[in-house]
Amino acid sequence: MRYSFESRVRYSEIGADQKLTLLSLLDYFQDASIFNSEAVGRDFHVLDREKRAWLLSSWQIVVKRYPEFGEHIRISTWPYGFRSVFGDRNFLMTDEKGERLAYANSVWVYTDTENGRAIRVPESEREAYQFSEKLDMEYAPRKIKIEGTGREETPVTVLKHHLDTNNHVNNGQYVLIAGEYLPGDFEIRQMRAEYKNAARLDDVMIPVIYEKDGIYIVSLCAEDGRQFAVVEFSGGRDF
């Protein structure tokens, strides 16, 4: 079942071009999923008491148009399936006319927070949510393939403002950090992110940049070589 809420693009959500930033768009989608969980009685407060959490495994966000300051927007989300330890969820942002502004697919992992292990989605979750039809879009693979040799950039240390309620780096912060290495005139039309290992306070992330055919991939790596997250940015074509 779809969950929706309406908003208006705020000054705090726009960039220098007076349009909604990708991070603010991502935050809207993330908030929608939390509101949806709250509406069905399975929000993060409930899960925290049960030592459970839904952790994001991957994003695929496609942007048709970034709304401008003051525009009225509608944000919708719905789960469309559970499979083993995974939950699949779509998102949609529309304008006042109902035209698509942005849409997304996401994959979440149901996790035991005491040991950090993924576990099969229980019946309590299945009973709480009513699935809606899968969004009509071109679905990309969950995993992001990296080829060639990358360019290392200055390491980034995780600070308090990067963290969320799980005391991990918030999924949007990885995207924000990765986006710093794009050319100044690059307009993001599709963003994919794959989350591999949660970064915590004082962890050091080493950005490694790959570019091919106008597509940029930023791998945020630990000092021992493990990957925290891989983010891919595409632009220039109509998705």
Residue 237: pLDDT over 70: no
Common-topology check for domains 3-128 and 151-234: yes
Q: Are β-strands 3-8 and 72-83 bridged in parallel, bridged antiparallel, or unpaired?
A: antiparallel
How far from the centroid of its chain's Cα atoms is residue 217's Cα?
15
Identity at 157, one-letter amino acid code? T
To which CATH superfamily is domain 151-234 assigned? Hotdog Thioesterase (3.10.129.10)
Question: In the chain, what are the domain boundaries?
Answer: 3-128, 151-234
Instruction: Give the total residue count for the chain.
Output: 239
23: helix, strand or coil: helix
**What is the torsional sign of CA 1, 10, 186, 30?**
negative
Q: What is the mean pLDDT of the chain?
A: 96
Inter-axis angle of helices 22-39 and 171-179, to 10 degrees? Answer: 170
Q: What is the pTM of this model?
A: 0.95
Q: What tens digit of pLDDT does each residue of 195-232 get?
A: 999 999 999 999 999 999 999 999 999 999 999 999 99
Closest among 98, 91, 88, 34 to 63, alpha carbons compared: 91
Q: What tens digit of pLDDT does each residue of 121-160 get?
A: 999 898 999 999 999 999 999 999 999 999 999 999 999 9
The whole-number average pLDDT for the span 29-48 is 96
What confidence tier does 183 reach under pLDDT thresholds 50, 70, 90? Answer: very high
- pLDDT of 25 reads 98
Residue 239: pLDDT over 90: no
The whole-number average pLDDT for the span 87-98 is 98
CA angle 208, 212, 217 (to 5 degrees): 35
Question: How many secondary structure helices (H) and strands (E) does the chain include?
Answer: 4, 12
To which CATH superfamily is domain 3-128 assigned? Hotdog Thioesterase (3.10.129.10)
Distance CA 69, CA 105 (A): 25
Identity at 234, one-letter amino acid code? S
